[in-house]
């Protein structure tokens, strides 16, 4: 099949592109390298077509050679990273919404199947667990904080996808739960696992937000990629949503302790735990409702946290 991956140079996107190439698909990547990197695709650079361009602009899609041949669009381009949600709320909304609308329009015009990478954050501050069924999204007053620039943009993206489905498009939604693994950036705009690992390695400290009792369902990138690919390739799934997340919940304090032990084991240095104030709107728990992914995609997270954390740490040494 011919496949378009927007955001294909990023953390999840580059692993998805590798998996698609390995499965024999012809892949075009559209990424403006805002956060993604061409080096992420180095191993397969001769097997793909790379278009450096803005996924929000219709003109970027016009650069795709023979667009009617595209069978599936995997839309991953977005601004991701909690610090950005607060600092650059309008940019987050602009990119996340407009890239979704433009890529949906491309899929409709060329009759391609569409897979939207949403997020559990589309549920806002819902405390119903497991998360990701037909419960309502809960967003606090916008005057409180801007974090949900991201979650609300994913919520509206889901609305747009369902609108397109009602108008005849074959489209599916996936919601990865806290992906981690090699290539995750460890800077202050990154995600918890790589940020903890980087500061432990560079500065000998592990920063825990709040009291550290908030939990996450950390899911290895290879498990996520398998689920995303299945959600794109199986027939008769239009209008369906799939939560992709590990059932193992871990508190951020336990995560910090585990990473501290691993850093000690691998480098001989024991990092110190430091507690700092977290971001407003940070959820206390985020664990996935898995019935649909399990029954329809036969998907389960398979890579253990111990194995995945060790692999991630070694990729940063």
Ligand X SMILES: NC(=O)c1ccc[n+]([C@@H]2O[C@H](COP(=O)([O-])OP(=O)(O)OC[C@H]3O[C@@H](n4cnc5c(N)ncnc54)[C@H](O)[C@@H]3O)[C@@H](O)[C@H]2O)c1
CB of 10 to ligand X, least distance (A): 2
Q: Does 179 sit near ligand X (CB under 6 A)?
A: yes
Q: How far apart are alpha carbons 83 and 279 in whole angstroms?
A: 8
- The three-class DSSP label of residue 72 is strand
Give 73 or 79: the residue with its C-beta nearer to ligand X: 79
Cβ–Cβ < 8 Å for 245, 226: no
Q: How far apart are alpha carbons 279 and 257 in whole angstroms?
A: 21
Q: Does 41 sit near ligand X (CB under 6 A)?
A: no
Q: Does 80 sit near ligand X (CB under 6 A)?
A: yes
Q: Which listed residue (12, 107, 252, 290) binds ligand X by CB under 6 A?
A: 12
Q: Does 200 sit near ligand X (CB under 6 A)?
A: no
Q: Which listed residue (5, 64, 73, 99) binds ligand X by CB under 6 A?
A: 99
CB of 191 to ligand X, least distance (A): 6
CB of 35 to ligand X, least distance (A): 4
Q: What six digits make up the tokens of 18?
A: 């590798």
Q: CA 281 → CA 44, 142, 205, distances in Å? A: 39, 11, 24
Q: CA 190 → CA 43, 80, 178, 259, 281, distances in Å? A: 23, 8, 11, 16, 17
DSSP state of 30: E
Cβ–Cβ < 8 Å for 80, 137: no
Q: Does 252 sit near ligand X (CB under 6 A)?
A: no
Q: Which listed residue (54, 158, 222, 233) binds ligand X by CB under 6 A?
A: 54
- Give how many residues touch ligand X by CB under 6 A: 29
Q: Does 32 sit near ligand X (CB under 6 A)?
A: yes
Cβ–Cβ < 8 Å for 186, 146: no
Cβ–Cβ < 8 Å for 17, 45: no
Give 249 or 266: the residue with its C-beta nearer to ligand X: 249
3-class secondary structure per residue, 149-196: HHHHHHHHHHHHHHHHHHCCCCEEEEEECCEECCCCCCCCCCCHHHHH
Give 47 or 52: the residue with its C-beta nearer to ligand X: 52
Give 13 or 271: the residue with its C-beta nearer to ligand X: 13
CB of 174 to ligand X, least distance (A): 8
Q: Does 74 sit near ligand X (CB under 6 A)?
A: no
Q: Which listed residue (2, 3, 7, 250) binds ligand X by CB under 6 A?
A: 7
Relative to beta strand 72-75, strand 113-117 is parallel
How crowded is residue 254: how many other Cβ atoms within 10 Å of its Cβ?
Answer: 14
CB of 265 to ligand X, least distance (A): 26
Contact pattern from residue 101 through residue 130 relative to ligand X, giving x for each residue in contact according to CB under 6 A and a dash for the rest:
----------------x-x-----------
**Residue ranges in contact with ligand X by CB under 6 A:** 6-7, 9-13, 30-36, 54-56, 76-80, 95, 99, 117, 119, 176, 178-179
């Amino acid at each position: 099949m011919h496949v378009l991956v927007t955001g294909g140079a990023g953390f999840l996107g580059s692993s998805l592109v590798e998996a698609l190439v390995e499965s024999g698909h012809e892949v075009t990547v559209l990424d403006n390298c805002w956060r993604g990197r061409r080096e992420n695709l180095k191993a397969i650079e001769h097997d793909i077509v790379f278009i450096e361009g803005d996924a929000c602009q219709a003109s970027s899609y016009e650069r795709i050679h023979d667009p009617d041949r595209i069978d599936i669009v995997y839309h991953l381009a977005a601004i991701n990273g909690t610090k950005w949600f607060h600092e650059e709320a309008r940019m987050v909304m602009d990119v996340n919404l407009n890239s979704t609308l433009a890529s949906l329009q491309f899929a409709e015009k060329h009759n391609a199947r569409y897979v939207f990478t949403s997020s559990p954050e589309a549920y806002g501050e819902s405390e119903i667990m497991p998360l990701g069924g037909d419960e309502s999204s809960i967003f606090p007053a916008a005057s409180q904080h801007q974090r949900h620039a991201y979650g609300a943009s994913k919520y509206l993206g889901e609305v747009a996808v369902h609108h397109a489905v009602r108008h005849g498009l074959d489209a599916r939604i996936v919601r990865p739960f806290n992906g981690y693994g090699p290539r995750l950036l460890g800077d202050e705009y990154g995600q918890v696992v790589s940020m903890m690992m980087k500061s432990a390695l560079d500065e000998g400290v592990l920063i825990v937000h709040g009291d550290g009792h908030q939990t996450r369902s950390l899911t290895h990138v290879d498990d996520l990629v398998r689920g995303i690919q299945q959600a794109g390739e199986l027939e008769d799934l239009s209008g369906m949503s799939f939560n992709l997340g590990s059932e193992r919940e871990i508190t951020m304090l336990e995560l910090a302790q585990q990473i501290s032990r691993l850093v000690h084991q691998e480098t001989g240095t024991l990092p110190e735990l430091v507690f700092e104030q977290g971001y407003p709107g940070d959820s206390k728990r985020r664990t996935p409702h898995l019935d649909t992914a399990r029954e329809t995609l036969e998907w389960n997270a398979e890579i253990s946290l111990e194995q995945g954390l060790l692999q991630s740490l070694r990729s940063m040494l």
